[in-house]
């Protein structure tokens, strides 16, 4: 229960600070030094895959965007977004990436 409340508090905090998918994209572009088109293209370069994974993680877990909605935006399948969320979570923890600075 405490974890659910913490996630909800985090969601409202991000929302009050103006965080949306566009702002998450900006943060990912900043971290990986790539442009928006590279995130949304189907390339398999490591930086693209990591950027998409981090975007998926933050969008789904932090902003509450559904994997289905995100899959449509990224032209991916819903299960692929699920895998990307897991990869993004591992990457964020390993590299200590944070959505907010």
pLDDT in tens, the chain (101 residues): 777 778 777 777 888 888 999 999 999 999 999 999 999 998 899 999 999 999 999 999 999 999 999 999 999 999 999 999 999 999 999 999 999 87
> What is the pTM for the complete model shown?
0.91
Distance, in Å, from the CA atom of 95 to the CA atom of 29, rounded to the nearest integer, reads 16
Q: What is the pLDDT of residue 87?
A: 98
Q: Are 64 and 14 in contact (CB under 8 A)?
A: no
What is residue 61's predicted lDDT score, i.e. its pLDDT?
A: 94
Rounded to the nearest angstrom, the gap between the alpha carbon of residue 55 and the centroid of all alpha carbons in its chain is 2
Identify the residue whose tokens are 């985090």. Answer: 10
Q: What is the pLDDT of residue 47?
A: 94
Domain ranges within the chain, ordered by starting residue: 2-95
Domain 2-95, CATH among 3.40.50.800, 3.40.50.10800, 1.10.1750.10, 3.40.190.10: 1.10.1750.10
């Amino acid at each position: 229960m405490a974890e659910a409340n913490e996630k909800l508090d985090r969601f409202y905090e991000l929302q009050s600070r103006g965080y949306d998918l566009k702002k998450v994209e900006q943060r990912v572009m900043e971290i990986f030094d790539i442009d928006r088109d590279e995130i949304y293209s189907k390339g398999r370069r490591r930086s693209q895959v990591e950027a998409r994974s981090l975007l998926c993680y933050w969008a789904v877990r932090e902003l509450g965007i559904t994997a289905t909605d995100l899959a449509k935006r990224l032209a991916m399948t819903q299960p692929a977004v699920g895998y990307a969320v897991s990869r993004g979570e591992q990457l964020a923890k390993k590299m200590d990436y944070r959505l907010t600075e």
